[in-house]
Chain A
Amino acid sequence: AQTVTQSQPEMSVQEAETVTLSCTYDTSENNYYLFWYKQPPSRQMILVIRQEAYKQQNATENRFSVNFQKAAKSFSLKISDSQLGDTAMYFCAFMKLVPGTYKYIFGTGTRLKVLA
């Protein structure tokens, strides 16, 4: 069974600094997609970034980038120049094919607090 592990329940970072959130997953599939979602106090789930397992190049979206290590099954999120608005829960998710559609499996989340 596929699992997604986020080993850091809580983290904090000073404003303007860089922080890395870790995520590991377990799968026997060769091609898949990975996602990071952000959940601010408003409870809304917001897509941050996505990565295809076939692509060697790490995905980047403005201040957010990933370090994807396929062999190690690791998918960490780096936030550069942290801002107060980055304070949120962050979830890593794995997308797997099932009959007729896809399922999305989530980690337990990392609560990030950006300090002024």
Chain B
Amino acid sequence: NAGVTQTPKFQVLKTGQSMTLQCAQDMNHNSMYWYRQDPGMGLRLIYYSASEGTTDKGEVPNGYNVSRLNKREFSLRLESAAPSQTSVYFCASSERQYNSPLHFGNGTRLTVT
């Protein structure tokens, strides 16, 4: 089982460039999430999607956009990358049930120079 698949695994951008991080899950989960992980700050929620066609802001949405293309896919876009967006990005999904844990992808390490 693939679970949650993120691409790419690594990326280097120059300030001002744009890119899209891709995420797909094959577990038929309704809810999907994007987190960023920074040293000393844990995982912070960027955006989430309760179901296909809906998205909501998390704690740190500025500078990002998302698209829930269908039930499987949830992409994160940086329109104009900034050095402050250097981070490790995780996509995750859950069943949207009371005791359901998050299932994570393997992360994308993004460096903005």
Contact = CB atoms under 8 A, between A and B. Distances in A.
Contact count band on B? 20 to 34
Tell me what chain A mostly uses at the interface: helix, strand, loop, or mixed.
strand
Contacts of B101: 35, 47, 50
Interface in A41-89: 42-45, 47, 50, 52
Given A33-B99, A50-B101, A104 B106 contact: no
Contact of B31 (A4, A47, A101, A108): A101
Interface string A1-39: 000101001000000000000000000000001010100
B74 interface: no
B99 A91 contact: no
A103 B48 contact: yes
Contacts of A33: 98-99
A107 B42 contact: yes
A95 B58 CA distance: 14
Given A44-B104, A103-B48, A107-B42, 6 more contacts: A4-B42, A37-B102, A98-B56, A100-B54, A101-B94, A104-B92
Interface of B: 30-31, 33, 35, 40-45, 48, 50-51, 54, 56, 58, 88, 90, 92, 94, 96, 98-102, 104, 106-107, 109
Interface of A: 4, 6, 9, 33, 35, 37, 42-45, 47, 50, 52, 91, 93, 98-109
26 contacts: A33-B98, A35-B102, A37-B102, A42-B106, A43-B88, A44-B104, A44-B106, A45-B92, A45-B102, A45-B104, A47-B102, A50-B99, A52-B99, A93-B102, A100-B50, A101-B51, A101-B94, A101-B96, A102-B31, A102-B100, A103-B45, A103-B48, A103-B58, A104-B45, A104-B92, A106-B42
